A and B are shown apart, each in its own frame.
Chain A
Amino acid sequence: MKRDIYLIAWVLVLLALPMRGAFGVQLTAGTPEIFKQYSEHVVKIEVVETASAAKASIGTGFFADKLGRIVTNYHVISKLVHSPERYRIVLTDVAGQTSAASVLGVDVVYDLAILRPDRRPKGFLALESKPVEQGTRLYSLGHPRDLGLTIVEGTHNGLLKHTLYPKVHFTGSLNPGMSGGPTLTQSGQVIGVNVATEGNQISFLVPAERAVALLEKTSSTANPAAASFLADVGRQIHANQTRYLEGMFGANTPRVELGPYDLPTKPTEFFRCWADALRRKELPYVSISHDCSTDDYIFVSSEQSSGIVRFFHQFLSTEELNPLRFFTLYSAQFQAGNAVMFGNEEEVTPFRCQTRNVNAAKGKLKAVLCARQYLKLPGLYDAVFKVATLGGRNAGLVSTLSLSGVSFDNVQSVSRRYMENIKWQR
């Protein structure tokens, strides 16, 4: 009897060995099943130029509720929001069937949009708002570079710290075209919407709870006029400004010293700051710079963004150049970078500037304020505020503050607080 028990035990152990092996490869073996099981709920989204029938942008979306509504990124369909008369949406499912869709709602701040397809889907993917443990295996679906529906494995690495807008850090390779696609757990719960990548397996997802919130806010049946979304985008950006600009460069702003200058740095946690110095033997001057910028921004259109705040201090000094020569350098630095990379005449006005010698608290400054207005989003401006300290002979500071997609009141108030934060010993 005892011998029989040993025999049965050995048989069980021997049977269990291949089973453990099977469990060990379950993650990779599960990927095809996940793909098979959930791919029918994922669609390719193309924004097509009506006149030429050519696609202007491509992305991914997924059916997110029983009403058949689709969740995707705002940036995938932004062209349609900006020029509804020029573009239309074409959806293609995994079987290759195409249908049209209309926009139901957008959340420009979190880069989400809700679409209503013309055809009712078979099912949908459930959104999971509950937090997921770091290290959880995740699967992302999408159409990278229009190569066909693809599944990408990766891991959940928690919410990004110190960002203005919460994002899930997904260690997996998202590529252009996968934007708006779902990232789900093994059990098929969508925990985030693909939104951005920084290459080398560093990718970001919009937390699913933001998509749930937008679905709740968005009417399921009414079909709002396409033109109304642009006004909605403007309102959302206006409302969002107070979140990050209120109190920026207030009295408690951390300070950094550059030579005799006492300057603002890292006003909030969501800024990243860098410093560098240019000291080369062949140069008769020294340049020390301190650069801070928000990590995050709101995508408005391919030519516009909002919410970027950047400031740059440059301290210049010389022991060799005479004052006239030093000021040739100083003037050149003050006038450098007077062109911005983005913007076209359909989106923004040209810049207009004001230059004055200003009596600041600690001395005189040459101050320049330049601004341009958004044409399709009234009341929003890009602005650059520059100051240079005056009165020195062989040292000076050039400081530049750039704001994008903010109201003119905020341009004025933030510029004022920034100017008040520039202090120095004479």
Chain B
Amino acid sequence: MAALGYIEILDVKGNAIERHGIESFPVSIGRAYTNQVIVGDPYVCPMHLTIAPDEQGRLIARDLDSVNGLRGQAGDRVATLEIQSGSQFRIGRTSLRYCSVDHPLAPTAVDGIELVSRLTSPFAAVAAGALVLMALCLESFLSSIERAKAINIISEPLPIIATMLGWAGLWSLASRIVVSHFNFAPHATIACVALLGTSLLGIGSEWLEFFFPAIPMLWLLGLLGYGLVLAGLVYGHLGFASFMRSRARLRAALAVSIAVIGMNTISYFAARSRFSTVMEYTGVLKPVDASLLPATSVDQFIAGSQKIKSELEGLALKAKVSQP
């Protein structure tokens, strides 16, 4: 006989962990083995609940004078409850859902494995490596202020490439130990992408500093960016070097990233509070048409410098207190 529907026993997140086919009504639910749906929950009575259609054909769940009762989706205790396809209710500490056989389903998910395998193929690693090399050579060329020689421009990024390959190699070793596969190509691709991300962040923060020097703590924004790149790096590597599920990897990646950002921030403030004869200012200059630059007036600049005076007075006061 074909099933009319299913009673699903749900976990705390609402996912079905057991399904019981319903071939006819009434359906009895409880802890006793005489029930059609047996629920192994000590807070559920042996004969806890029945579901049966009424005169109008509506499905009604009825509490059989149980100890802990029947509760609707809102959590209030009821004697009877109208049930439709998808309705959730609770007996004891167990959540249940009724679904008819024609209950609508979510669209089929696209399997991302094919895309991932393409991105982690040796070809992708070579392409990413070439891109990194080009980017580093370009950076080396633009940062050179002497007559550029090709050999210097190409040789300068080589230590960085070597370090990156070493990094990918270490992760490959970890992969070999944990998942029995080296996965060197995907680890190298991930390292390349992270390096490119770091370079782009560096360029972005320089331009931001140049255009908006008045924004305080702009470096913190850059640090957050680096934190995200680091989280992505760890998340990606763990995907190929462990059996961790996606959420666990994300948590691990964020933990590492937050720890690194935290340590950097602490060391920045520690260094700032130490005495130094160095003037720290953002002196980045860019070849931009002056009309595009937001600028303050001379008066505003001079008036704004009063903040330096206040800050120095605070520092002087602090120094006097701390000096014997």
Beta-carbon contact of B296 and A373 below 8 Å: no
Which one of A149-157, A190-198, A340-348 is at the interface? A340-348
Beta-carbon contact of B143 and A368 below 8 Å: no
A324-B315 contact in complex given A354-B304, A357-B294, A384-B279, C-beta closer than 8 Å: no
Contact check: which of A285, A355, A375, A390 meets B319 at CB < 8 Å? A375
Residue B297 interfacial (CB < 8 Å): yes
In the bound assembly, the distance between CA atoms of A352 and B213 in angstroms comes to 14
Contacts of A344 in B (CB 8 A): 275
Beta-carbon contact of A351 and B277 below 8 Å: yes
Map CB proximity to B onto A314-342 as digits: 1 under 8 Å, 0 otherwise.
Answer: 00000011011111111110110011111
Beta-carbon contact of B146 and A282 below 8 Å: yes
Beta-carbon contact of A359 and B278 below 8 Å: no
Residue B282 interfacial (CB < 8 Å): yes
- Shortest beta-carbon distance, B106 to chain A, in Å? 51
Contacts of A366 in B (CB 8 A): 213, 283, 285
Residue A178 interfacial (CB < 8 Å): no
Beta-carbon contact of B315 and A349 below 8 Å: yes
Contacts of B284 in A (CB 8 A): 331
Beta-carbon contact of B145 and A349 below 8 Å: no
In the bound assembly, the distance between CA atoms of A200 and B301 in angstroms comes to 47
Contacts of A358 in B (CB 8 A): 295-298, 301
Contacts of B316 in A (CB 8 A): 349, 373, 375, 378
- Contacting A at CB under 8 A, from B261-300, are 274-291, 293-298, 300
Contacts of A148 in B (CB 8 A): none
In the bound assembly, the distance between CA atoms of A341 and B295 in angstroms comes to 32
Beta-carbon contact of B312 and A338 below 8 Å: no
In the bound assembly, the distance between CA atoms of A353 and B309 in angstroms comes to 10
> B276: nearest residue on chain A (CB-CB)?
A350
Residue B147 interfacial (CB < 8 Å): yes
Contact check: which of B141, B213, B275, B298 meets A419 at CB < 8 Å? B298
Range class of the B interface residue count = 35 or more
Beta-carbon contact of B313 and A420 below 8 Å: no
Residue A245 interfacial (CB < 8 Å): no
> A345: nearest residue on chain B (CB-CB)?
B275
Beta-carbon contact of B142 and A325 below 8 Å: yes
- Contacting B at CB under 8 A, from A373-395, are 373, 375, 378, 381, 384, 386, 388, 390-393
Contacts of A364 in B (CB 8 A): 290, 293, 295
Beta-carbon contact of B281 and A323 below 8 Å: no
Residue A371 interfacial (CB < 8 Å): yes
Contacts of A392 in B (CB 8 A): 287
Q: What secondary structure prevails in chain B residues at the interface with A?
A: loop
Residue B311 interfacial (CB < 8 Å): yes
Residue A312 interfacial (CB < 8 Å): no
Residue A415 interfacial (CB < 8 Å): yes
Contact check: which of A331, A341, A352, A396 meets B277 at CB < 8 Å? A341
Residue A372 interfacial (CB < 8 Å): yes
Beta-carbon contact of B298 and A284 below 8 Å: no
Contacts of B296 in A (CB 8 A): 356-359
Contact check: which of A353, A384, A416 meets B302 at CB < 8 Å? A416
Residue A42 interfacial (CB < 8 Å): no
Contact check: which of B285, B293, B304 meets A396 at CB < 8 Å? B285
Contact check: which of B146, B213, B281, B297 meets A338 at CB < 8 Å? B281
> A371: nearest residue on chain B (CB-CB)?
B308
Residue A369 interfacial (CB < 8 Å): yes
Contact check: which of B274, B281, B291, B315 meets A370 at CB < 8 Å? B281
- Contacting B at CB under 8 A, from A48-86, are none
Beta-carbon contact of B305 and A412 below 8 Å: yes
- Shortest beta-carbon distance, A324 to chain B, in Å? 5
- Shortest beta-carbon distance, A414 to chain B, in Å? 11
Residue A367 interfacial (CB < 8 Å): yes
> B144: nearest residue on chain A (CB-CB)?
A325
Contacts of B163 in A (CB 8 A): none
A323-B287 contact in complex given A357-B213, A369-B308, A412-B305, C-beta closer than 8 Å: yes
Residue B13 interfacial (CB < 8 Å): no
Contacts of B277 in A (CB 8 A): 339-343, 350-351
Contact check: which of A324, A350, A352, A360 meets B287 at CB < 8 Å? A324
In the bound assembly, the distance between CA atoms of A354 and B307 in angstroms comes to 9
Residue B245 interfacial (CB < 8 Å): no
A359-B142 contact in complex given A343-B277, A370-B279, A388-B285, C-beta closer than 8 Å: no
Residue A408 interfacial (CB < 8 Å): yes
Beta-carbon contact of B285 and A352 below 8 Å: no
Beta-carbon contact of B320 and A375 below 8 Å: yes
Beta-carbon contact of B305 and A327 below 8 Å: no
Residue B214 interfacial (CB < 8 Å): yes
Residue B15 interfacial (CB < 8 Å): no
In the bound assembly, the distance between CA atoms of A325 and B143 in angstroms comes to 6
In the bound assembly, the distance between CA atoms of A343 and B319 in angstroms comes to 14
In the bound assembly, the distance between CA atoms of A415 and B298 in angstroms comes to 10
Residue B56 interfacial (CB < 8 Å): no
In the bound assembly, the distance between CA atoms of A412 and B308 in angstroms comes to 11
In the bound assembly, the distance between CA atoms of A408 and B84 in angstroms comes to 78
Beta-carbon contact of A356 and B308 below 8 Å: no
Beta-carbon contact of A334 and B285 below 8 Å: yes
Contacts of A320 in B (CB 8 A): 147
A334-B307 contact in complex given A416-B302, A419-B298, C-beta closer than 8 Å: no
Residue A199 interfacial (CB < 8 Å): no
Residue B108 interfacial (CB < 8 Å): no
Residue A363 interfacial (CB < 8 Å): yes
In the bound assembly, the distance between CA atoms of A369 and B214 in angstroms comes to 13
> B211: nearest residue on chain A (CB-CB)?
A357
In the bound assembly, the distance between CA atoms of A407 and B179 in angstroms comes to 68
Beta-carbon contact of B308 and A353 below 8 Å: yes
Beta-carbon contact of A352 and B308 below 8 Å: yes
- Beyond known contacts A325-B142, A338-B281: 5 more, CB 8 A cutoff: A324-B287, A341-B277, A351-B279, A355-B282, A369-B301
Q: What are the 8 closest A-B residue pairs judged by CB atoms, nearest first?
A: A391-B290, A323-B287, A345-B275, A335-B283, A353-B281, A370-B279, A349-B315, A329-B145
A-B contact pairs, 11 of them (CB 8 A): A321-B145, A324-B287, A342-B277, A350-B315, A357-B296, A359-B297, A364-B295, A370-B279, A371-B309, A393-B287, A415-B305
